[in-house]
Structure 1
């Protein structure tokens, strides 16, 4: 995804018990991101994290 998630959207997504949320700090080669994984459906989405998000 191209834009960060809002706190409200993140809360709504994490309310679903089928989803696992995760985050990764920035590295010199990759930006910080947070995402959600549904192992039952074999799908994951990630969103950038910015200092103002």
Structure 2
């Protein structure tokens, strides 16, 4: 899809029939960027979703 209005929150790809949800995709992108920034600061995310120091 080249362009669509922001009011369209979910859509199905005409080529592969995969369902896409813009809100879920946005949440995943924000999470990924947060992890990247934490790692850049020397922190990491534990398997239990808590923050810990890379040195600890």
TM-score, normalized by the shorter chain, greater than 0.5: no
Q: Which structure's residues are more often helix, by fraction?
A: 2
Q: Which structure has more strand as a fraction of its residues?
A: 1
Alignment TM-score, normalising by the size of structure 1:
0.24
Higher relative contact order (CA 8 A, sep 6+): 1
Bigger-Rg structure (1/2): 2
